[in-house]
Amino acid sequence: MPSNITEKIFNTLRTNKFSQNYFLHLALFIVTFITTLIAGLEWTTGKIGPFEFSDLYAGLPYTISILFILSMHEFGHFFAAKFHKVKATLPYFIPFPPIAGFFNFGTMGAVIKTKTPIPNNKAMFDIGAAGPISGFIACLIVLIYGFTHLPSVDYILKIHPDYFSPEYGKDAIGLEFGGTLLFELLKYIFTSSKEFVPPMSEIYHYPFLCVGWFGLFVTAMNLIPVGQLDGGHIIFSMYGEKKHEAVASISMIVLVALGVIGVVNGILNLDFRIGWSGWLIWAFILYFFIKVKHPPVYHFEELSKGRMILGYITFIIFLLSFSPTPFIISF
């Protein structure tokens, strides 16, 4: 197809009008607010509903924090798309209903959808990087606030009166969040030995620490350099198709390996502190639905030094946020 005809088709698609479905966006936000409020109450209080109306206030710190992080991430994408004149929807917040006996965070995240083609790899890079960088900054704010405003030890004792008893936790299923480099670094900087700092097996009772950790988890998942994940957009925009394909393939192998280790550990109860069966499920989703390869863009050119530096920063964010074993369940 002649290039001038291709360009005309491309420009026509870009200028095609579309309308935002404000009612749907608002409805999903409200439902997600409710599901995260309930999830926040369950995580922080350790209780399973039904809850009274007076209880709802206790879930607000969790809800506001998680919606703040998700909004920062998605509006980072949205405004980068607007800057490059790429039409995009407002964020679709994805609620997840609380299910008894199944731990969840009240949401499966949020997404925006581009409605016109992305013109070049510069725009692709900016749109891909703006989300995780914005979300990461939001995580930093929430975590720093959480570590600098830790409640006294009485807080955990109200939830678990027998917390310091030798019998605490025996014959019960234990859940521990896996550490990340950033989480441990912030803990070291902003806490002291004079105060009670909850272990990773209890941070889900602390809304800001729980949400900040979850935000890092989501950020890391999005920065895996595969297909059309944010990390995939960034690697493709920086290095092109061949290098992206190589990096994506290696990433998939690592994910599958971590997932298999998690499955084997769960079956044989080997007590490995690495691997998680969920990575195997995520690898399956990436391979069959999101795809490993990245589709081409209309125009590709070398990125500026500034964008390359930002790309390296996203690599650092990924390393600081990633946990090879995000969830450790003990019986």
User: 13 pLDDT exceeds 80?
Assistant: no
Kindly state whether residue 9 falls inside one of the protein's structural domains.
no
Q: How far apart are CA 275 and CA 256, in angstroms?
A: 10
The per-residue pLDDT for 6 is 44
Kindly state whether residue 10 falls inside one of the protein's structural domains.
no
CA dihedral for 44, 37, 214, 65, sign (positive or negative)? negative
SS (H, E, C) 95-110: ECCCECCECCCCEEEE
pLDDT band at 169 (very low <50, low <70, confident <90, very high): confident
Q: How far apart are CA 196 and CA 153, in angstroms?
A: 6
105-126 residue pLDDT tens: 999 999 999 999 999 999 999 9
Kindly state whether residue 126 falls inside one of the protein's structural domains.
yes
**What average pLDDT does this structure show over 309-314?**
98
Q: What are the structure tokens assigned to 116, written together?
A: 């016109």
The per-residue pLDDT for 101 is 59
Comparing 88-92, 99-103, 117-121, 257-261, the range with the smallest average pLDDT is 99-103
Decide which of 102 and 6 is more confident.
Answer: 102
Instruction: Give residue 118's domain range.
Output: 21-330
Q: What are the structure tokens assigned to 101, written together?
A: 């006996």
The per-residue pLDDT for 114 is 93
187-210 residue pLDDT tens: 999 999 889 999 999 999 999 999
Q: How far apart are CA 140 and CA 168, in angstroms?
A: 32
Nearest to 326 by CA among 223, 217, 208: 217
Q: Write down the residue that tokens 């990125």 correspond to.
A: 303
pLDDT band at 4 (very low <50, low <70, confident <90, very high): low
CA of residue 55 relative to chain centroid, distance = 27
Q: How far apart are CA 286 and CA 194, in angstroms?
A: 45
**Mean pLDDT in the chain?**
91
Phi, psi of 183 (to 5 degrees): -60, -45
The per-residue pLDDT for 15 is 52
Kindly state whether residue 263 falls inside one of the protein's structural domains.
yes
The per-residue pLDDT for 100 is 64
pLDDT band at 289 (very low <50, low <70, confident <90, very high): very high
Supply angle C-alpha 214, 215, 218, rounded to 5: 85
3-class DSSP assignment, residue 29: helix
Counting Cβ atoms within 10 Å, is residue 294 exposed (0-12), middle (13-18) or buried (19+)? buried
Q: How far apart are CA 65 and CA 292, in angstroms?
A: 32
Q: What is the DSSP letter of 174?
A: E
User: 178 pLDDT exceeds 60?
Assistant: yes
Kindly state whether residue 42 falls inside one of the protein's structural domains.
yes
Please give the helix or strand (H or E) that residue 111 lies within, else none.
strand 107-111
The per-residue pLDDT for 16 is 57
Q: What is the domain count for the chain?
A: 1
196-248 residue pLDDT tens: 999 999 999 999 999 999 999 999 999 999 999 999 999 999 999 999 999 99
User: 5 pLDDT exceeds 70?
Assistant: no
* Residue 269: partners with Cβ closer than 8 Å, 6 or more residues away: 331
Q: What's the first-to-final CA gap in the chain, in angstroms?
A: 62
Which residue blocks in 224-276 are alpha helix, DSSP H?
230-239, 241-268
Q: Write down the residue that tokens 């607007």 correspond to.
A: 82
The per-residue pLDDT for 267 is 85
18-63 residue pLDDT tens: 678 999 999 999 999 999 999 999 888 878 877 888 788 889 999 9
Dump strand ranges (E) for 286-331.
Answer: 327-330
The per-residue pLDDT for 234 is 98
**What average pLDDT does this structure show over 266-284?**
88
Kindly state whether residue 210 falls inside one of the protein's structural domains.
yes
Kindly state whether residue 251 falls inside one of the protein's structural domains.
yes
Strand partners, 329: 175
Kindly state whether residue 261 falls inside one of the protein's structural domains.
yes
User: 160 pLDDT exceeds 60?
Assistant: yes
With beta carbons less than 8 A apart as the criterion, state whether 292 and 227 touch. Answer: yes
The per-residue pLDDT for 49 is 73
